[in-house]
A = this chain, B = another copy of it.
Amino acid sequence: MDTARQPDLTRQDILDAAFCEIHRCGFQAASIANILANTGLTKGALYHHFPTKQALGLAVIDEVIRGRLEGLIFKPLRESERPVEMLLEIIATIDRKVPSDFVMLGCPLNNLMQEMSPLDEAFKERLGGVLGVWQKTVEGALKRGQKQGEIRAEVDYKAAALFVVSAWEGCIGVAKSMQSPKAFSICMKQLHGYVQGLMTAKAEKGRHKGG
């Protein structure tokens, strides 16, 4: 039946619409009424599945944002046997793998971090958790690369990972504020160069043959 009750599907619809609205307007400016208008549902549905607006926001982080980053970045990076190559490839191709409105509207994770981390402890924890996974994943990639002799031994891979993630978010942020996908590409290319600069001469040379 078409109009049958499907609570978890309803819940997902709300989550998706909330993600979209938050992505466009930020969390605080996100309107419950707008979210519901985009789903065709009403407040009864929303407040049945989520006790407060904050809980809805946290669920968006855990179930939507984290999931997307997981599939797009974390998982490939963890599972690759040549993590440095994979990191470079992701950085080089991310501008084509992501819908263009993700440059115009910014990284959903970064947007929320900037807005909510100083204001709400719960948000800060969840967002910091996702960011921490990102950082640890890059860290692991660099560490493994160091063991494989692709990353120079003297590189502080923890600091480098922190910087990669920071610069990454910075590139999206500036490109967003310029409303320019082109600036994003240029910027990420420089980040690509930074990571290459961490590599041993041998590994860097061999890369071009392999690629």
Residues of A within 8 A of B (CB): 24-26, 28-29, 104-106, 110-111, 113-115, 117-119, 124, 127-128, 131, 159-160, 162-163, 165-171, 173-179, 183, 186-187, 189-191, 194, 197
Contact = CB atoms under 8 A, between A and B. Distances in A.
Contacts of A128: 177-178
Contact of A131 (B25, B165, B177): B177
A102 to B, nearest CB: 11
Given A26-B115, A160-B190, A124 B169 contact: no
A166 B173 contact: yes
A24 B169 CA distance: 21
A127 B177 CA distance: 8
B177 A162 contact: no
A168 B183 CA distance: 15
